Amino acid sequence: MIMKTTFSKLALLVTVGGLAATAHAGTITVKGSDTLVILAQKWAEVYMKKNPDVKIQVTGGGSGTGFAALQNKTTDICDASRKIKGAEIANCVKAFGRRPTEYRVAMDGLTVFVHADNPVKELTLMQLEEIFTGKIKNWKEVGGPDAKISVFSRENSSGTYEFFKEKVLKGRDFTASAKTMQGTAAVIQGVAKEKNSIGYGGAAYAHGVKSLAVKFDESSPAIAPTEETVVKMTYPIWRYLYCYIDPALDKGEVHTYLRWLMSDEGQALVKDIGYFPLPKHLRQ
């Protein structure tokens, strides 16, 4: 899906499906995380209105796609919903001689979605692990109706997929019956349509579905992904959202733009979109 918005003579291209961004002289290119793409779009729109000489192209496709573009020198900024891996750092060092600079730009409560009519309100981390790996197959096993659970997941180039697999599934594979979706918006659409489904994604996408509270274990309180619980890091599946850049490119207008993302104005847009602003002491 391609959404194109033009401001005067400037164009912002946002591609969720993973088409390659084409760099032009005087253009800041941003590529990567589908989780971040809706926020990156808003940042670019507002920044270009304030700075009409700057053109910003924002492209999705997944964190892995963004890191590949970064090391291939086909994007200025890589958006990521997970930390960069050792192999990706090594590839960047090989490509441009240094490890990329990391910017934390927002916080997110990775949210578990179910159909709006699902009576289940909360699940433990263990229950989530067993549902998404296929050990738990029926909602009645976790206090819901007698109905087979339909699992929605993200593609493996997604940082959200990798984060969820590491933090919730403890590295285990998703159930073979999981429906793999290109983008969180597609996960939401699937969960909203299928009554007995479950999925996961960034908090900003939680519209038209029910968000579950998550418990560390059976004896722990259920915690919803709110600004307070995410910023205080009490929600069990909180995470940072990142931008990565070749240090040689982190200057001039690109550096000014990255710094603006963490300004009060930039962080207010984080909240407007549905993610959570960085505490001021964490803004680089």
| Angle between helix 159-167 and helix 34-50 axes, rounded to 10 deg | 130
DSSP state of 21: P
Res 283: pLDDT:
84
Tokens of 247: 């240090």
| Neighbour-count burial for 41-60, b at 16+ CB within 10 Å, e otherwise | bbbbbbbbeeeeebbbbbbb
pLDDT by residue, tens only, the chain of 284 residues: 333 333 333 334 443 333 333 333 479 999 999 999 999 999 999 999 999 999 999 999 999 999 999 999 999 999 999 999 999 999 999 999 999 999 999 999 999 999 999 999 999 999 999 999 999 999 999 999 999 999 999 999 999 999 999 999 999 999 999 999 999 999 999 999 999 999 999 999 999 999 999 999 999 999 999 999 999 999 999 999 999 999 999 999 999 999 999 999 999 999 999 999 999 988 86
Q: What is the Cα–Cα distance from 224 to 212, expressed in whole angstroms?
A: 7
Q: H-type helices in 72-203, by residue range? A: 86-96, 125-133, 159-167, 184-193
What domains are there in the chain, each with its CATH number?
Answer: 2-107+240-282 (3.40.190.10), 111-224 (3.40.190.10)
pTM of the model: 0.89
DSSP 175: P
Query: Looking at residue 4, what is its pLDDT?
Result: 33
Q: What is the pLDDT of residue 34?
A: 95
3-state secondary structure of 171: coil
What pLDDT sits at residue 282?
Answer: 86
Report how far residue 198's alpha carbon sits from residue 137's, in angstroms, rounded to the nearest whole number. 11
By the 8 A CB rule, do 177 and 134 touch? yes
Structure confidence at residue 12 (pLDDT): 42
CA angle centred on 96, ends 92 and 100, rounded to 5°: 50
